[in-house]
Amino acid sequence: MGGWLSARELHHVRGGRDVLSLGSLDVAPGSRLCVLGANGAGKTTLLRLLAGVERPRLGQVSLDGVSVTGGGVAVRRRIAYTAQRPVLLSTTARRNVELPLRWRRVPRKRCRSLANAALERLRIGHLAERQARSLSGGEQQRVNLARAVALDPDVLLLDEPAASLDAESRTAFLDDLGRALADRATTVVHVSHRVEEAMRLADQVIALINGRVHQVGSAAELIHRPISADVARLVGYDNLVPAHVRSDGTVLIGQTATGLRLAGYKGPASVAVFANGVRPAAEGDAAGVPARVRHVSLGPGYWTVSLTVSLPGVTDLAMTLPIGTPVAPEGSTVRVVFDPSLSTVLPATAATRQPHPLPVPALDPATALLSL
């Protein structure tokens, strides 16, 4: 059974810098929460404070009402924390998994069967007798996770579990991790800077920017309705362009129509658009932002086109096109429009909004609840 993890008024300072400031966080038993943030956003700090391996400057972390902050062994043993860089012991993979179980006075035979099961779940059963430190980075990360999963903790805290893996290994690893956790009631909090990890593993996501929570919701909500330009950048929007919304809802960049609309708002805004949502305007299309093709490069299955928008105050644009599409040569001028399904318009009030105070999104109380 997962535990109810709570944090209250957490503030942390490192090197004289305010690295984390969090009002209130409650993670319900069995829920899967992802803390999404760029490097240096305070994700690891938050996880370490939740794990009790570091004390906050101010505030309290508790598990089912028992203080984790400076707590004893009993409460720490209900939480398993895996660091981003696996710290494995100089023994076999199996012993690495068994040892924390032995510390909990689990009988030797039971230790072995739990360790074997955890190693199998992470698909490294065949490496059980190998020296853990001689394994590859990906295999070591799997041992690291098997060690945590074998403990069947009430709370599992994962720090960028797939960070050190290449794209192919990461996909397989995340599948295996998801499978290993699938039938467990463990409360899982994991931090990542990749939104795709959040989508795979979490039912709730916190967008953490500069040590402060900017948005809470499902991964899909954050992607489709980011509340600010910072969150839009975090969830992977490649382009953020200053725009203006007319009273009829038409979204303009400069004085040019983009093909996007936003009802119920008039005034300055930003357009966030994925690179694959930028498309050359069709012949005869009235909308279209004029841009010069600065650079064209070939990626796996697509063209990446760098555009310089020919309007005052507008930044460059990135566009990706399927590899079969004809691409305008470098130096030529094109007109581009934005695919509404791959774009979002952020009113300026949202784009410039400060993280305090934030409206609390309507969340399923059975999963996670966060307020500031």
Partner 1 sequence: MTEPVIDVLARSTAVALWTTLIAGVLGISLGTALALARVGRRGILIAIVNTGMALPTVVVGLSVALLLWRTGPLGDLGLIYTLRGVVVAQVLLATPLVTGVTLAALRQLPRELPEQLRALGANRIQLVLRMWLEARLALLAAVMAGFGLAISEVGAAMIVGGNIHGHTQVMTTAIVETVSRGEFGVAITYGAVLLGVAFLVNAVLALAQRRGSSWADG
CA 345 to chain centre: 21
286 binding partner 1? (CB under 8 A): no
Please state the closest distance from residue 164 (CB atom) to partner 1, in A.
14
318 binding partner 1? (CB under 8 A): no
Please state the closest distance from residue 90 (CB atom) to partner 1, in A.
6
126 binding partner 1? (CB under 8 A): no
Assigned token pair, 20: 């984390």
Query: Could you tell me which stretch among 83-91, 312-320, 342-350, 357-365 binds partner 1 (CB under 8 A)?
Result: 83-91
Nearer to partner 1, 127 or 358 (CB): 127
Residue from 8, 11, 57, 77 touching partner 1 (CB under 8 A): that is 77
57 binding partner 1? (CB under 8 A): no
Please state the closest distance from residue 205 (CB atom) to partner 1, in A.
24
- E strand spans, 168-255: 187-192, 204-209, 212-217, 239-245, 250-253
Binding positions for partner 1, 90-109, rule CB under 8 A: 90-92, 95, 99-100, 103-104
63 binding partner 1? (CB under 8 A): no
231 binding partner 1? (CB under 8 A): no
81 binding partner 1? (CB under 8 A): yes
Q: Give the number of C-alpha atoms closer than 13 A to the C-alpha of residue 338, restricted to the C-beta side.
A: 31
83 binding partner 1? (CB under 8 A): yes
Question: 54, exposed or middle or buried, with CB in 10 Å at 0-12, 13-18, 19+?
Answer: middle
Nearer to partner 1, 51 or 213 (CB): 51
Please state the closest distance from residue 46 (CB atom) to partner 1, in A.
15
Nearer to partner 1, 191 or 336 (CB): 191
Cα–Cα distance for residue pair 249/353, rounded to 1 Å:
21
CA 67 to chain centre: 27
Assigned token pair, 207: 């967008």
What long-range pairs does 179-183 form, CB within 8 A, spacing at least 24? 179/121, 180/118, 180/121, 180/122, 180/145, 180/149, 181/32, 181/149, 181/156
* Site track 173-192 with partner 1 (rule: CB under 8 A), x = hit: --------------------
85 binding partner 1? (CB under 8 A): yes
311 binding partner 1? (CB under 8 A): no
Question: 267, exposed or middle or buried, with CB in 10 Å at 0-12, 13-18, 19+?
Answer: exposed
Nearest to 189 by CA among 292, 247, 74, 181: 181
Name the helix (H) or strand (E) containing 5. Answer: strand 5-14
Q: Which residues contact 281 (CB under 8 A, 6 or more apart)?
A: 259, 287, 288, 334, 335, 336, 337
Judged by CB under 8 A, the number of residues near partner 1 is: 28
Nearest to 96 by CA among 88, 104, 85: 88
Please state the closest distance from residue 129 (CB atom) to partner 1, in A.
10
Nearest to 1 by CA among 156, 227, 120, 134: 156
Binding positions for partner 1, 34-53, rule CB under 8 A: 48, 51-53
87 binding partner 1? (CB under 8 A): yes
Binding positions for partner 1, 147-166, rule CB under 8 A: 147-148, 151
Please state the closest distance from residue 82 (CB atom) to partner 1, in A.
8
Cα–Cα distance for residue pair 128/93, rounded to 1 Å:
5
Query: Could you tell me which stretch among 73-81, 237-245, 272-280, 294-302 binds partner 1 (CB under 8 A)?
Result: 73-81
Nearer to partner 1, 93 or 314 (CB): 93
Please state the closest distance from residue 71 (CB atom) to partner 1, in A.
11
Residue whose token pair is 């899909």: 220
Nearer to partner 1, 6 or 144 (CB): 144
Question: 90, exposed or middle or buried, with CB in 10 Å at 0-12, 13-18, 19+?
Answer: exposed
Interacting residue ranges for partner 1, rule: CB under 8 A: 48, 51-54, 73, 76-77, 79-83, 85, 87, 89-92, 95, 99-100, 103-104, 131, 147-148, 151
